[in-house]
Structure 1
Amino acid sequence: MTIRDEEPGVATARPQSLMLGFLGIYALGRATAVYSGSVIEVFERIGVSEEAVRSTLTRMVKRELLARHRRGRKVYLALTPRAAAVLEDGHRRIWETGAVNRDWNGSWTLVGFSLPDSRRNERHDLRSQLVWAGFGPLQNGLWIAAGTVDVVRIVEDLGLADAVTVLTAQAMKPTESADLVGKAFDVAAIAGRYRAFLSRWDVPRPAEEARDDLARQLLLHTDWLQLVRQDPHLPAEHLADGWPAVRAETVFRMLAARYEPAAARIAAALLDEIALPPGNAVTATGAEPTEGA
């Protein structure tokens, strides 16, 4: 399950990408709803207008990513299970999966499909979901991803289970896995995005345009999530020496730790939150979060 926004690019994040970063840090796993006015205050610190924030929040409510809770004249917003699933996936990509695949077992997941032009919208949606899941197009109607990738939810959500063939395989002579990487993925573009991240953040005083550590934290997390959400997590052994993702991940983690203490204090002072009623505090699976989450 994904949210498709703009074409990701470092330092060009749109409000929804920034909102996802904000919600991933300050809403995911919390049994609370946050006042929309205080969200506007937070985003003012990174130069996003009130109009843009309200428009983004309204769209997310319409798409059932946020739910409204009224207290008097104030509107508070909480994550829906759908949004929690998206944000939990982002959290895994940031903190668990990592930017470099050092544990590849030599296998590939193959997805084959053939959809006529009369179903071009479904074909487009499938391709978009496959890219999100780390697949690249090897040839017409055949996409591959490194390792074992579960695509059941993708094809079931799109209603395409009967139109898709999924296999796992290993490369055999004369095919080499390194050749598959080069054919199915734009490795140069992936490396370029990591270098762009480093050009912005791997400097003595990064993101000086940001107002404070909360602003810097949101910009950093948004930039990084846009990188890892489009990184197919290719095997490290088939990437060039000095792969820039290694340095980029080190920089991200260092700065994330640096900004977090002050950012958390600022956010605590700015954000107006209420506890959700019992039964409304959900995670991606619909379960109530554990105490202290």
Structure 2
Amino acid sequence: MKPRSLMFTLYGEYIQHYGGEVWIGSLIKMMSQFGISESSSRGATLRMVQQGYFQARKIGNKSYYSLTDKGKRSMQEGVSRVYSIRNLKWDGYWRVVTYSIPENKRELRNQVRKDLTWIGFGMISNSVWVTPNPLEQQVLKMIKEHGLEDHIILFSSSEIVSHDKGEIVQKGWDFDGIDQAYQSFIERYSEKYEALKERAWNEQLTDKECFIERTTLVHEYRKFLFLDPGFPADLLPADWSGNKARELFFNVHQLLSIPAIRYFEDVFDPAPDCEHVSNREKAIHPFINIM
């Protein structure tokens, strides 16, 4: 696991539900369970501060870290997509983004491509990206944040004359590749789920093991956010393997959640002047229903 990605997972899974601020020593101990050294953790934390994702404050000889508004937006966007239980029907509209960003802003152009991919757009031709999902507000926010009002146009259309919807989907996304990735996840975690259930039944699972397994599970499942655009059900292939993978993810997650949270609570050290308000139930059951 890369330290930065793991930090976002730890904040999204645990720390945000316990005041959102953590002593660096607690963070280092949690990250050490995944083979990340103290120096690597400290270095990654410093980079997160420099990039505007973390903010730090010192109390005595201890440093405490929390997410900035920028960091919270990045974390919450990922968390909401991981834990959303979607039951959406397509409204029949394509959201279309076109851009013409000059060469002297090449890095910004690359960032726009990453941002569009992250939220679920697919590129159907050079500088033309589409999605059937209602992502207008996310795109408008991205345009404003990057100051690209003169370079990006967003519009919607209920009809594409030259191609049918299946051809557009095929152009923009590799659903065969996404399906294969889901199948690999299902194969790996179906076997693991059965083994974990048996060990839990026989009281052979430690709290620390459950913390490691739950965090790893979420870390692995988050990778699908970069692959799966999260289409409405009526645009998905028949017998979509993503549904089975999501159900398996929920089952494994809930099997591990209570002991994983116990381990986190043992390690977690909040700031002494922080009014410690925890939402343990939300940390155990983070799933969100979106109709």
Tell me the TM-score range normalised by the shorter chain: 0.7 to 0.9
Aligned-residue sequence identity (percent) comes to 24
**Any conservation in 1 of the 2:93–2:158 contact (CA below 8 Å)?**
yes
**Counterpart selection for 2:93 from 107, 129, 153:** 107
**Any conservation in 2 of the 1:32–1:275 contact (CA below 8 Å)?**
no
* Cα drift, residue 166 of structure 1: 0.8
- 1:236 matched to 2:233? The reply is yes
SS in 2 for 1:161: coil
Using the alignment, how far apart are the partners of 1:55 and 1:115 within structure 2? 34
> What residue ranges of structure 1 are gaps of 5+ in the alignment?
1-12, 282-290
- Which amino acid in structure 2 is aligned with residue 161 of structure 1? E
Instruction: Report matched runs for 1:215-226 at 5 Å.
Output: 215-226=212-223
Match of 2:67 in 1: 79
SS in 2 for 1:202: helix
SS in 1 for 2:195: coil
Using the alignment, how far apart are the partners of 1:46 and 1:22 within structure 2? 12
Cα RMSD of the aligned pairs, angstroms, is 2.4
> What residue ranges of structure 2 are gaps of 5+ in the alignment?
200-205, 280-291
SS in 1 for 2:271: strand
* Cα drift, residue 97 of structure 1: 5.6
Using the alignment, how far apart are the partners of 2:174 and 2:61 within structure 1? 51
**Counterpart selection for 2:113 from 127, 133, 140:** 127
- 1:37 matched to 2:25? The reply is yes
Using the alignment, how far apart are the partners of 2:78 and 2:221 within structure 1? 10
Instruction: Report the TM-score when normalising by structure 1.
Output: 0.83
Match of 2:164 in 1: 176
* Cα drift, residue 174 of structure 1: 4.7
Using the alignment, how far apart are the partners of 1:60 and 1:67 within structure 2? 8
Match of 1:90 in 2: 78
SS in 2 for 1:123: helix
* Cα drift, residue 250 of structure 1: 0.3
Using the alignment, how far apart are the partners of 1:29 and 1:81 within structure 2? 16
Match of 2:270 in 1: 273
SS in 2 for 1:87: helix
- Which amino acid in structure 1 is aligned with residue 146 of structure 2? L
- Which amino acid in structure 1 is aligned with residue 98 of structure 2? G
SS in 2 for 1:137: strand
* Cα drift, residue 170 of structure 1: 2.0
Using the alignment, how far apart are the partners of 1:90 and 1:275 within structure 2? 29
SS in 2 for 1:103: coil
**Counterpart selection for 2:195 from 200, 205, 208:** 205
TM-aligned CA distance change 1:172 to 1:227, over 3 Å: closer
* Cα drift, residue 248 of structure 1: 0.7
* Cα drift, residue 194 of structure 1: 1.7
- Which amino acid in structure 1 is aligned with residue 14 of structure 2? Y
Match of 1:257 in 2: 254
Q: Deviations over 1:213-254 (max 9, x none)?
A: 001111111111221244212243333222211111001111
**Any conservation in 2 of the 1:93–1:229 contact (CA below 8 Å)?**
no
Using the alignment, how far apart are the partners of 2:223 and 2:40 within structure 1? 20
* Cα drift, residue 277 of structure 1: 5.5
Using the alignment, how far apart are the partners of 1:195 and 1:148 within structure 2? 28
Instruction: Report the TM-score when normalising by structure 2.
Output: 0.83
* Cα drift, residue 189 of structure 1: 2.2
* Cα drift, residue 212 of structure 1: 0.2
Please identify which structure carries the higher helix content: 2
Using the alignment, how far apart are the partners of 1:247 and 1:218 within structure 2? 20
